[in-house]
Structure 1
Amino acid sequence: MEVEQVELEFPARLLKQGVSLIDTPGIGSTFEHNTEATLNFLPQCDAALFLVSPDPPITAIEVDFLKEVRAKVPRLFFVFNKIDYLSAADLEQSVAFLKKVLSEKAGLKDEPQIFCVSALAGLQAKKAGNAADWQKSGMEQIESHLINFLANNKQRALEEAIARKSRAVLLDALMRLQLGIESLKMPLERLEEKRRLLEEKLESARYQRTMEGDMLEGDKRRAIEQLEERAEALRKEAFGQISEIIHNYILLKNQLDEKLIQQELRKTIPAFFEHAFGEMSRAFEKETNLLLKAHQKRCEELVQRIRKDAAEIFEIPYVPVEQIDILELPKNPHWVTHHWNDSFGLPPEGFFDFLLPHSLRQRRVLKRVDAQIDALVVQNVENVRWSTLQILNDAFRIFAQSIDNKLAEAVAATKNAIDAAHQKRRERSEMVAEELQRMESLKVGLSAISDELQSLCSSMAGKER
């Protein structure tokens, strides 16, 4: 029976708080691609729990892996398990040794946070519903810390984002009100002249957006061309490395058993391509983020220019709206295991092959193996290329859509408010005074709320520092 996924539900307090726990594949396992898969996923994590035990506290392989983890995860916590196997003196000595290794070998400058636990005792306490033993096992401390660090920190970040976004919306509404008020106050002829001036500015902005769109499309085309070049280079590199590994296996071990050759292929191909996929994904993510952020900066300057032009034309105070959207490439938020094609099955040797001299038979096997490796490499490189291409296309599409939306919002915050006031002036001049009074009252109320939100944002930022 082939099973790809099993879903289990458990009423854990930690998970209810919005924490997602991911158990990564083993480090330094027989299957090298497990380690590569772990490294590829780590940048999506807020923190990592590094599990060690007394036998020994930390191995050389784990230290090497830890050095790579540090560059990918913002926070590291260490869980020292199986403390029930140690006396108090042995535990103290083991933890001291672990801290020394983390400082001297792994290069951790700050004092590492180490939680000493007995997972077995914690499990037994949970099953028995014994709160005292749960706390004694050390597991309660980890759970509370994770909830505080992850869930509560995310809650504060969410509250700050909401406050900042709310203020941005209020500043937008205030600008519309001020433009509307000035439009209602000024003589109709002067208002129409200012509308024409603003329309000229907006037309210039639309032209700049078209030019920016052409540049964006050109950058996308060049990024895809670069992807194709890298895919071709990867195909050559993959064939060369995998072929060399398999040839050495055949020649050095004098191995012609094609079942064993297939097993070696199944081990070699996933390890190579999991690493290659991670390297290519990280490279394109970094390059594309830098590229799009340059476009983002220019487009946001264009949006602010529209607002500033409107403020200058209608002689109202200009308040820049803080840009709080952070551009990120789309990511899959869940654990993904890539299924690499590692075997087509070699065509079986015929009776004639077994009658050939060993050297000739070996050459025939090598030739068939190379043909299989080439086909597998082509297929797996296409998997890497296609996955990366989808990320690129999604990134450019989402970005272009976002910029168009921002431009439309900027236009709505200026032109629409002025056009509405102009319409009222032409159709219902007797109601202008009443409308002005209502809008001035709204302006006072919104200004007060905006000031309160600004104080709240500053207070939150101060606490974060």
Structure 2
Amino acid sequence: MLILLIKANYIKETAFEAENLHRIVCILLPFVKNNIEVIIMLKDLKNHLNLYINCLHQMKDLGKATRNKPIVKKCDDLLERIEGLEFHVAVIGQFKRGKSTLLNYFIGENLLPTGVVPITSIITKVKYGTKPQARIIFEEDIKENVDIHHIDQYISEQKNPKNIKKVAEMELLFPAEILKNGLVLVDTPGIGSTYKHNTEVSYGFLSEADAAIFVISSDAPISEIEIQLLREVKKYMNKLFFIQNKTDYLSKKELEESLSFSIKVIEDAIGIEPIIYPVSAKLAFEGKIENNQEKLRNSGMILFEEALGEFLLNDRGNYLMNSYKTKLISFMDDLAENIHFKLNLLNDSIDALEEKIILFKERLKATSSMKRETMAVVEAELKEIIKIFEGELVSFRQEQSELIKKKLKKAAEDHKEIDSKELDNLLNQQLELEIEQAYETWNKQQETKIRKSYEEITSRFTDKLNETIEEINHVIYDLFKIKVVQSIEDFQLIQKDTFYFKFGDSSHLFFTPKLKDFLFLLPKQMRNKKIISDIVNRVEKEIEKNGNNLKWDYTCKIRDSKYIFESAFEQHIQSITEELVSTIEATVELKQKQDHNVAEEIQLCLERKRMLEQIKNQIVS
């Protein structure tokens, strides 16, 4: 009955194709109780979608009239999504977190390239299709079908470094059940790798997604770069799923500790306690390919799929409408700012504009040169911080090794009467406790020193960078009467502590089977002597291992903090684009013609501004 009502009241009256019928049913089904409600909700859905489509066509025309190619492209993309009732879920996270493996699991084939180095460099959208197909969309909007088994030639960093082939995005069509109802899964390049352009691609896509699957990993604690990305994601979308991948790397106890840590870090960052699904995408993919139900159950993926499926069934419709509306308003704001900018240019004199263009380009050159010099000095001084830490770490390890060995020998003497196996467990536990206590005290002192050193370095250079930014802003304000580039604030070393202790398996049998059989024939005193000797030999290894973990933690903190510091500056300056310069030069060329041309252009801008306000009123009312 529901399908018949939709056919009668919806399909024949809209521009949508009948193939979207099943998607409409899935959106409405959770909310309806009777046929009256079906008809009411159908009309409401139809009215909203038609309103958004009409507004987008008007926006697209305005974009063409103002020669604003990005707005035209955004409108085309959103029109295609609305007409297909597509719901875009971006798979986001730091590099090497297993995002592509996760998507390979969902589509049931090893299509997306995976590896131990940063792989994905291009946005890849996976949609439903009756047969597997791949299509490349180049930056000039040229589309080309390619062999689906050779897509790595276009989307991998190794075979398309820095996107030299000028690929805008990849589309994969695949007959996966999960994609049937308009779900589009989007693979994004990992952030935080040595390939900065990959990070820029991922950040640039955030505003286009309707929801996200945020992937963290069990083999490395959540980093500050991931937290920064998470905060950005929350600006654009309200629905987030969290996956902690690679659970097969940890024991049950380690996984519990890692999940607790991740939950706390994420809650501190966004103010909401997340539900994190622990999974092994690799194990799930193997289980699916091999039809191995045990692997699938052990992977943890079934629980996540159930949660995703429930969301798509019950809540997708509301999120979809809100997402379309938010994106439309964002497009309008961007276009309004562009029109305002052009009006300010048109009202200025030719001589003033030409002079400001020269000043503007000079300041950009000065900024680029200063930035390179500044960051080179910053990097050298940050390396010196780690070098000093390494020297102090060596001294600390030597001192603590001798101290802990003495404590363990004393503990063995105090408990020489207990069973050999109990003695082994007791000494291993004490070893780990002593190392934890020693490093925790020393680490607090080191963090204070390193934080102070880092902040002294960045503080000196922040002031220099802000002087240049302020000069650029003077020029921009003269041109637009707006302040485009914000000053950089003082940067601190990131707060999140990603260090945690890692020990060898303390519950191991301290003898191999044959050796155990032999030694248990010996007197207890000899067995205990072997236990004490093994634990003393273990001291230096465990102190060194955890010392290296701590060193890596500080190296990552400094690296990530430097990345944030450098990215903040680049984002401020990159907001001044080549398009802005070309628009100024085009305005000068126009003003060099007849005055009536300028007057007509001003009137056109004012008319477009009024039209844009009318379109916005339709959406927000």
* TM-score range relative to shorter protein: 0.3 to 0.5
TM-score after normalising by structure 2: 0.38
TM-score after normalising by structure 1: 0.48
The structure that is strand-richer by fraction is 2
- Higher gyration radius (CA): 1
The structure that is helix-richer by fraction is 1
